[in-house]
A and B are shown apart, each in its own frame.
Chain A
Amino acid sequence: MTFSPALEARLAALIRRYPAGRQRAALIPMLMYAQDETASITPELAEEIARRLGITTLQVDEVVSYYSMLHRRPLGRHHVQICTNISCMLTGGEELFERACRRLRIGNKQVTADGQVSVEEVECIGACSWAPALIVNYDFHHNVTTEKLDQLLDSLRGAAGGPTAFRPRADRGPSLKPSNGETAVDSGAA
């Protein structure tokens, strides 16, 4: 299995971060960064990572089944993660989640027929003081109102006509421009 040169370089660097003989430590980061490119953890990917780390695919599968951000099936190109935990619940997070499902005509963890958007109800994302909040792929959106949600969903589906603010997971560069959490978008920098 081959990856983009940027991902290959990242995976090699990840393995070097850990003490000799402890390379298994790189497993979760490798899966997370690889998944950004491959869209999901396929059996082929799990085997490849296992081979590179000298562990069994079962050891990889054990990990994949445990962590909520590792997915065996591709999500939408734009994965909308809406928090409904306590601070967001008190400020309308549940209503936002239900509204998103209704507008997209999908349920929790489902993908629209065109593969563009998926939605997931998630636990606390650490945006409690700017609630309700959601994450699209890795980009935070704070103090979300129903109007902001509608605009966001429209732009993700390209309904507004113009180019979308987000690039597909598969061609996201390894680096996001970290200006601040709210507006972090791809810089395209390697």
Chain B
Amino acid sequence: MLFNPPHPLEVKVLTRRFSEPNCASLETYLAHDGYQGFRKALGMKPEEIIDQVKISNLRGRGGAGFPTGMKWSFVPRQSSRPKYVVVNADEGEPGTCKDRVLMENDPHSLLEGMMIAGLAVGAHTGYIYIRGEYRYLIEIMDRAIEEACAGGWLGRNILGSGFDFDAFTHTGAGSYECGEESALLESLEGKRGVPRIRPPFPAVSGAFQSPTVLNNVETFCAVPPIVLKGGEWFANLGTPKNGGTRLFCLSGHINRPGVYELPMGFNLLRMIEEVGGGMIGGRKLKAVIPGGSSCPVLKADECDLAMDFDTVAKAKSMLGSGGVVILDETADMVKVALRLMRFYQHESCGWCIPCREGTLWLRKLLERLDAGRGSATDVNLVGELARNMLGRTFCPLGDAAAMPTISIVEKFRDEFEARLAPARDLVEIA
């Protein structure tokens, strides 16, 4: 089974149908509130839909945590151009595997979320950009689209309302960078996944230079229950300004890794101990990457905190994409820093110099340090280079590479120093 057995501490909103037999089918979906949010939204004004999403305090589940209702309200009401709904299903942030679970088990909720977004902004076409590796999910989504069309839930004049909506899947072809929204739009248009300069933001000029609502899979999946049960109900599940639940992907050195739906603000230590079943072999916790590999790491003594966007930001990290990677005392932090930098260097699109050159330099320095051939100057240079990348790159990939690196070098400097080359060797190399 792809998904793990549920945990009693879970609050099942987006995953509530997962335990039903044949949960991905239209039949099961319809038997459990399926398309009822859309039906209700048909009777609402566009601004009323957006208001409910605003009240819900739903924030972007892709990683940035931007308020979804506000994002939707930026789409110009009057526009001579057609508008689009685009789903970011290019899940690729290391540590993150939740959108996969949603599309596999509840594909219709994604379609319903897209349709409600279409009603809210006046869009009649939606594209689901799915990473190429997820081919079986593209086929699940294609089948769900076919089923919904055959059942009259998608296509022309849905439920006799006069509202038309078409949804299509679109495969990626292997690129982390395409998870960045403007690079995704370039890729959707058949080009290299190179980010666009912003503004204009996608809400004004996105897919095919038209106003576009672009959100993560999980964000769209949260919309039907928000419309059906009300924004306030959803907001009350979480903490102030952090509405609802979210899918946390626990991985690494724990006994029960898995994807668990927990309320926003759930305590990280409890998440590890109670939901994740504690550390493997009873070993000691060393560090946690709280929201995908781009987030600064938290040391064990920084982990007693509420997992919502604002609390994790106060701890100088990020809630990010919900990928919680747990590292125990055996984890080699120099290797962790090197592995992550190899990733960012491989995925840097090469468009802007600080990222292209910075990630390469950092990879080479970290390789030297990992091999025991580095000097104390190299350790300083890693931090210095990474800090020089921050905020100086075209898109957030540069920051994503720099942030975990800076935090690892600062918080685990002793591990780097223990690996320095003996002074004698350094003289020879010099």
* A90 adjacent to chain B (CB < 8 Å): yes
Q: Of residues A62, A69, A139, which shows the largest number of chain B Cβ atoms within 10 Å of its Cβ?
A: A69
* B88 adjacent to chain A (CB < 8 Å): no
Known: A126-B134, A129-B259, A178-B139. A26 touches B190 (CB 8 A): yes
Partner of B173, one of A69, A86, A87: A69
Which of A104-112, A157-165, A179-187 lies at the binding interface? A179-187
* Chain B nearest Cβ from A36, distance in angstroms: 9
| Residues 304 to 349 of chain B near chain A (Cβ within 8 Å) | 323, 325, 327, 331, 335-336, 339-340, 343, 346-347, 349
Closest to A143 in B: B257
B190 touches A63 (CB 8 A): yes
Q: For B336, list chain A residues within 8 Å (CB).
A: 86, 89
Partner of A129, one of B91, B193, B251, B289: B251
| Residues 109 to 133 of chain A near chain B (Cβ within 8 Å) | 123-131
Q: For A127, list chain B residues within 8 Å (CB).
A: 97, 100
Give the complex CA separation of A66 and B173 in angstroms. Answer: 9
* B369 adjacent to chain A (CB < 8 Å): no
* A84 adjacent to chain B (CB < 8 Å): yes
* A11 adjacent to chain B (CB < 8 Å): no
* A29 adjacent to chain B (CB < 8 Å): yes
Which of A16-24, A95-103, A148-156 lies at the binding interface? A16-24
Closest to A81 in B: B133
Q: Given A25-B189, A138-B133, A181-B104, list of 14 further CB < 8 A pairs? A: A17-B127, A66-B192, A67-B193, A69-B132, A85-B339, A86-B94, A86-B293, A124-B176, A128-B249, A129-B259, A176-B135, A176-B136, A178-B139, A180-B104
Partner of A85, one of B94, B137, B331, B349: B94
* B174 adjacent to chain A (CB < 8 Å): yes
Give the complex CA separation of A180 and B127 in angstroms. Answer: 23
Give the complex CA separation of A18 and B129 in angstroms. Answer: 13
Partner of B257, one of A17, A28, A129: A129
Give the complex CA separation of A55 and B252 in angstroms. Answer: 46
Partner of B174, one of A55, A68, A182: A68
Sample (10) of A-B pairs whose CB atoms are under 8 Å apart: A19-B82, A32-B173, A55-B190, A62-B191, A85-B339, A123-B347, A129-B4, A129-B257, A130-B97, A178-B139
| Residues 56 to 90 of chain A near chain B (Cβ within 8 Å) | 59, 62-63, 66-70, 81, 84-87, 89-90
Partner of B94, one of A66, A91, A124, A142: A124
A17 touches B192 (CB 8 A): no
Closest to A65 in B: B192
Q: For A181, list chain B residues within 8 Å (CB).
A: 2, 100, 104, 136-137
Q: For B235, list chain A residues within 8 Å (CB).
A: none
B136 touches A86 (CB 8 A): no
Q: For B190, list chain A residues within 8 Å (CB).
A: 24-28, 53, 55, 59, 63
Closest to B256 in A: A129
Closest to A22 in B: B208
Q: For B343, list chain A residues within 8 Å (CB).
A: 85, 123-124
* A135 adjacent to chain B (CB < 8 Å): yes
Q: For B99, list chain A residues within 8 Å (CB).
A: 126
- List the 10 closest pairs (A to B, CB-CB), nearest first: A69-B174, A68-B174, A27-B190, A67-B173, A87-B251, A24-B190, A128-B251, A138-B135, A124-B94, A66-B192
Q: For A91, list chain B residues within 8 Å (CB).
A: 251-252
* Chain B nearest Cβ from A134, distance in angstroms: 11
* A42 adjacent to chain B (CB < 8 Å): no
Q: For A180, list chain B residues within 8 Å (CB).
A: 1-2, 104
Q: For B125, list chain A residues within 8 Å (CB).
A: 19
Give the complex CA separation of A70 and B187 in angstroms. Answer: 14
Q: Of residues B91, B187, B258, which shows the largest number of chain A Cβ atoms within 10 Å of its Cβ?
A: B187
* B117 adjacent to chain A (CB < 8 Å): no
* Chain A nearest Cβ from B339, distance in angstroms: 5
* A175 adjacent to chain B (CB < 8 Å): yes
Give the complex CA separation of A87 and B96 in angstroms. Answer: 9
Q: For A144, list chain B residues within 8 Å (CB).
A: none
* B218 adjacent to chain A (CB < 8 Å): no
